[in-house]
Structure 1
């Protein structure tokens, strides 16, 4: 028996649906997992969380555990901006300063990045990739490209993919603005 919207129950009768959610009592009672209620399916934050969870699971399976997503982001940004200071880079990769310090410490412990004290300001740490870091990043970047291709059903080079990325980037910026606003 398939549990989809509009399906019939074991006795052939159509289950009664909640007007508010579209769910049936049988959805949650032994007939398999219930369908996601409509209020959640139309909530951007819920959908983004689902995407993130699916991406994190796919990352573990297809990219390997060589680098976490945040570690990959930091190393990619360090490669793009060698000798940039750790604090400035945190904003670039959407990490708070505390998380950034932890990620950099772990990468330094694995000899993937080097942190040097800035000559003009002893509090600032300047980041650069080590030779081993360059090698690991190159390998992981290939794996990430393959994962992106799989996630987009092979359409990574199409205009639609570029438009999606642009829309997600703009949405991220808007949500960050909302997060910084005072509550109304």
Structure 2
């Protein structure tokens, strides 16, 4: 079936932000696997980095900081604990404090050169000014939607 330009069904898929964001995420995830290998996922890496920046934070705070729900964060933390990279300490009220183990610190330090390579490969096709603008727009997009989500969540309570 052919759609005319005035037809509301004739939308160019590659002009839709949602599709482009999904494709960009697929590309980023594949590059992550290519460069860092199968031992760590992008979300696990984000959790490890956050624990390095904020050692001893509780699981609920960690979930908020890496933009995951609590149950997903708990599941990933359990997997990282099983690898020996994270220590989960039980706190009152069924909360858990999370810290990197020495092995986790070592693994994370080993990822650093690869993460630099990953970032270079991700942005290599863009000029330096385009790279900066691309990251600026992504940060703005995420920040604006994070604010909107937190406002909507608090108004729903």
Of 135, 138, 141, which residue of structure 2 is paired with 1:168?
Answer: 138
**SS of the counterpart of 1:67?**
coil
Check conservation: 1:149, 1:155, Cα contact below 8 A.
Answer: no
Structure 1 length-normalised TM: 0.71
**Any runs of at least 4 consecutive aligned residues in structure 1 with deviations exceeding 6 A, and if so which?**
none
Matches within 5 A, 1:5-154: 18-20=3-5, 38-118=11-91, 121-153=92-124
Per-residue deviation at 1:162?
Answer: 3.4
Per-residue deviation at 1:160?
Answer: 4.0
Per-residue deviation at 1:159?
Answer: 5.0
- Write 1 or 2 for the structure with the bigger share of helix: 2
Q: Distance in 2 between matches of 1:75 and 1:155?
A: 28
Check conservation: 1:63, 1:144, Cα contact below 8 A.
Answer: yes
Coordinate RMSD, CA, aligned: 2.5
Aligned length: 148
Stretches of structure 2 lacking an aligned partner (at least 5 in a row): none
Per-residue deviation at 1:155?
Answer: 6.6
Check conservation: 1:117, 1:124, Cα contact below 8 A.
Answer: yes
**SS of the counterpart of 2:94?**
coil
Stretches of structure 1 lacking an aligned partner (at least 5 in a row): 1-16, 22-36
The structure having more radius of gyration, on CA atoms, is 1
Per-residue deviation at 1:161?
Answer: 2.7
Q: Deviations over 1:74-117 (max 9, x none)?
A: 00000000011111011111111110000000000111011112
Per-residue deviation at 1:51?
Answer: 0.3
Q: Deviations over 1:153-173 (max 9, x none)?
A: 1879x4543332222111012
